[in-house]
């Protein structure tokens, strides 16, 4: 039988993290994000602050959320990398609006970003691919058939071993021609929401 866990008792005291005026670093949402993100990178126990939840919803109106890495951000948007052939890639093709959520538990903060997603150009795509460490580039090729069912872990291990061998003496890993990256490019002020626990801050 499933053991019951006392969920209410798990909540921590959010008053220990009162929102002070000093938490506002900037009027520009992207600069505010930058300040919070930098704080999250130095806060204890956050792990990887660059992980975010990406929610997409295709024409079936069934939202799907999953974790992805933030690969870059500036005034033009928030960049993440994925495979067009994945479920999220298909959903974004049907409906380009997506939502990103950062949650930094120890700081009791979340940031929600809503916007339209665009594909990177071929050139941007290739540049991005080659800024990743080589093992990531190989991993990208290994997991190319993202969201599809595989027979076992071995399939991926074999694929990785073959690719490593194939590229052993080759300096540049070639990205899949149909492997692309996606970017939230059209950022406006209302696209970013900064929240602390249940209380909305901006």
Ligand X SMILES: Cc1cc2nc3c(=O)[nH]c(=O)nc-3n(C[C@H](O)[C@H](O)[C@H](O)COP(=O)(O)O)c2cc1C
Nearer to ligand X, 43 or 87 (CB): 87
Number of H helices, E strands in the chain: 5, 9
Q: Which strand (E) or helix (H) includes residue 99? A: strand 97-104
Task: Give yes or no for residue 64 binding ligand X (CB under 6 A).
Answer: yes
Binding range to ligand X, per CB under 6 A, among 17-25, 33-41, 85-93, 94-102: 85-93
Apex CA 38: angle with CA 32 and CA 41, to 5°? Answer: 145
Structure tokens at 172: 């540049």
d(CA 91, CA 99): 13
Task: Give yes or no for residue 55 binding ligand X (CB under 6 A).
Answer: no
b/e burial code for range 56-79 (CB count within 10 A of at least 16 → b)? bbbeeeeeeeeebebbebeeebbb
Nearer to ligand X, 109 or 180 (CB): 180
Residue of 14, 26, 31, 67 that binds ligand X (CB under 6 A): 67
- Helices 122-131 and 134-142 sit at what angle, rounded to 10 degrees? 120
Write down the least CB distance from residue 105 to ligand X, Å: 15
Task: Give yes or no for residue 87 binding ligand X (CB under 6 A).
Answer: yes
Task: Give yes or no for residue 125 binding ligand X (CB under 6 A).
Answer: no
Site string for ligand X, 128-157 (x = CB under 6 A): ------------------xx----------
d(CA 174, CA 165): 14
Task: Give yes or no for residue 172 binding ligand X (CB under 6 A).
Answer: no
Residue of 12, 31, 63, 66 that binds ligand X (CB under 6 A): 66
Residue of 25, 37, 55, 69 that binds ligand X (CB under 6 A): 69
Residues that bind ligand X (CB under 6 A): 51, 64, 66-69, 80-83, 86-88, 146-147
């Amino acid at each position: 039988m499933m053991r019951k866990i006392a969920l209410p008792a798990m909540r921590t005291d959010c008053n220990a993290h009162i929102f002070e005026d000093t938490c506002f670093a900037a009027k520009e949402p992207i600069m505010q994000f930058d300040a919070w993100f930098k704080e999250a990178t130095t806060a204890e126990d956050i792990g990887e602050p660059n992980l975010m939840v990406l929610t997409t919803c295709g024409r079936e109106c069934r939202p799907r959320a999953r974790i992805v890495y933030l690969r870059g951000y500036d005034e033009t948007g928030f960049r993440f990398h994925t495979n067009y052939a994945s479920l999220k890639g298909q959903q974004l093709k049907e409906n380009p609006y997506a939502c990103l959520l950062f949650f930094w538990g120890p700081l009791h903060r979340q940031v929600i970003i809503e916007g339209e997603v665009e594909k990177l150009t071929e050139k941007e795509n290739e540049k991005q691919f080659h800024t990743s460490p080589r093992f990531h580039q190989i991993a990208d090729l290994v997991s190319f058939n993202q969201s599809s069912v595989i027979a076992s872990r071995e399939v991926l291990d074999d694929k990785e071993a073959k690719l490593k061998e194939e590229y052993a003496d080759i300096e540049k890993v070639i990205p899949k021609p149909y492997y692309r990256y996606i970017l939230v490019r059209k950022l406006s002020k209302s696209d970013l929401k900064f929240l602390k626990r249940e209380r909305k801050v901006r």
